[in-house]
Amino acid sequence: MKPRLSMHLINFAAEPPGDWQRLFDLAVAADRAGIGRLVVSDHVVYGERLDRYADPALGGLAGGRQPTGPDGAWLEPLTVLAMVGALTERVRLCPMVLLAALRRPIVLAKTAATIDVLTGGRLDLGVGVGWQQEEYEAAGLDFADRGRLLDHTLEVCEALWTQERASVSTEELSFEGIHQMPKPTAGTVPVWVSGTVNRRSMARLARFGSGWIPWGPDAADIDSGIARMRDAVAARGRDPSGIEVAVNVRLERDSSGQPQIAPTMSVVPALVEAGATDLRIHLQTPQGVAGAEEYLSPWVEAFEAAVGS
């Protein structure tokens, strides 16, 4: 579980940008500079009650605010990652987080496996239940049942990825002797489970998860969050030592507001010691591949020095 430096590709805009070339230039630059993972966001549709994102009871983030209005332009993340995968060679690719239950499970399994195979095994699948009731209603699904729907989706995907003759029996469907090829490169697509340390998300993580995407208070106090996650997973009979963890790294800035590499990276060894393996920075890079690569390379070098690579 080598720690990776990751970045968020902004696959949304408050207003249609005209073209999305900057997103793809940044992806190429990040790959060349040695960024370890690129992540993208997901919303399929929007309702008009965006203030609900700030309600943790619905799965939102206290004090949080959506980055666009309901008519913001949001690119579908798996489609974006397929194109990014074609433009890059090494960097891992991950939706963080995909509202997986909104997709038909057999189609999601096929799409993810296809991206994984075509990119040489570089796909991770970050999943969560989301916060927006309207997205589930527009898909004809019960928002109150979103946790079970996600578990069902992952169960079907896992069966199709790992079984030569797949069989599934759930409340939603039952099939046996079903074939879906090609299988993912490493035999499955690594799944990263988003959520707080609660009963349902920890059961999901213990069953399906290769990695954990902390949320809310568990992300804010990551040392305590990782400890609590490990206890919860162990209580469900799984060794938590193999579970990766995503963490946001706060940028330290000088008096003029410019991000500073050394002070920012000074916290990385402690985060890795606590269990973080995906350490994400949010940087504003120059436009164009060459300028962005030149800007990112010292950040990657400092990160590798901090983790002893």
The CATH number that applies at residue 55 is 3.20.20.30
Angle at 108 between CA 48 and CA 113, to 5 degrees: 140
First-to-last alpha carbon distance for the chain, in angstroms, is 12
112-149 pLDDT, tens digit per residue, is 999 999 999 999 999 999 999 999 999 999 999 999 99
Query: Is 68 in contact with 80 (CB distance < 8 Å)?
Result: no
Task: Provide the strand spans (E) within 151-264.
Answer: 166-169, 174-178, 191-195, 211-214, 244-248
Count structural domains, the chain: 1
Contact yes or no for 209/247 (Cβ under 8 A): no
The answer on pLDDT for 162 being more than 90 is yes
Residue 220, number of CB atoms within 10 A of its CB: 13
**Alpha-carbon distances of 200 from 62, 141, 197, rounded to whole Å:** 20, 19, 9
- Residue 200 — very low, low, confident or very high, per pLDDT cuts 50/70/90? very high
Residue 197 has pLDDT above 80, yes or no: yes
Question: How far apart are alpha carbons 291 and 163 in whole angstroms?
Answer: 45
Tell me the C-alpha distance between 18 and 258, whole Å: 28
pLDDT in tens, 73-86: 999 999 999 999 99
pLDDT tens profile 89-103: 999 999 999 999 999
In this predicted structure, the answer to whether residue 309 has a pLDDT above a threshold of 90 is no
Tally the residues of the chain: 309
pLDDT at 130 (0 to 100): 95
C-alpha span between 100 and 85 (Å, rounded): 20
Task: Please tell me the distance from the alpha carbon of residue 44 to that of residue 101, in angstroms, as a whole number.
Answer: 11
Summarize the confidence of residues 36-65 as an average pLDDT: 93
**Residue keyed to tokens 């570089």:** 122
Predicted local distance difference test score (pLDDT) of residue 1: 83
> How far is residue 77's CA from residue 148's CA, in Å, rounded to a whole number?
23
- pLDDT tens digits, residue range 236-245? 999 999 999 9
Range of the domain at 203: 4-307
* pLDDT at site 172: 85
What is residue 104's predicted lDDT score, i.e. its pLDDT? Answer: 96
For 275-306, write each residue's pLDDT tens digit: 999 999 999 999 999 999 999 999 999 999 99
Question: For residue range 53-74, what is the model confidence (pLDDT) as tens digits?
Answer: 999 888 888 889 999 999 999 9
